Amino acid sequence: PACILCNRADDNSNLYGPKIISGSICAHQFCLVFASDLCYKEIQIEDENMYMVSDILHAVQQAAQKECFKCGEKGASIACQEVNCNRRFHFPCALEGSCITQYFEPFRSFCWEHCPEQYMEAVPDDNPCLICMDPVEDSVSYGTMVCPVCQHAWF
């Protein structure tokens, strides 16, 4: 079944998190976590966080008239966290649109224009990525980052 928040049936748990199904409601975990209008109460049941169905339906209703800046469709449940930015998007569109989603509390999302950036004085000089050994771009960008401690390891 399709996610009630992003309307996609994708099952890639690496990208969207596992699907959470409760009765007739199905949602990707990360769509729930990053939904701006989801005022959820986490209930700890056997080491799993559960979301209140009424809160999920409220978030869907709030997003119903909000347009995604990436795909243009209604139902955009995630808002850029920059003050005075009105851009909204679906979670999959955030991944495709160079938005930043922070996978740590408070689980914030930012549009491409307001993405937090690393500020580095050093510029890599023919540094390969320490993970895959491919060449790294010569500046910090959406596709690169540098270790904040040593400022020499680029990824």
The per-residue b/e assignment along 30-50, b for 16 or more CB within 10 angstroms, e otherwise, is bbbbbbbbbebeeeeeeeeee
- Give CA–CA dist 105/43, Å, rounded: 17
Q: Which domains does the chain have, with CATH numbers?
A: 13-110 (3.30.40.10), 117-155 (no CATH)
For 151, the token pair is 């400022």
- Give CA–CA dist 50/22, Å, rounded: 10
Q: What is the pLDDT of residues 68-103, one digit of tens each?
A: 999 999 999 999 999 999 999 999 998 888 888 888
pLDDT surpassing 80 at residue 47: no
Contact in structure between 89 and 97 (CB atoms under 8 Å):
yes
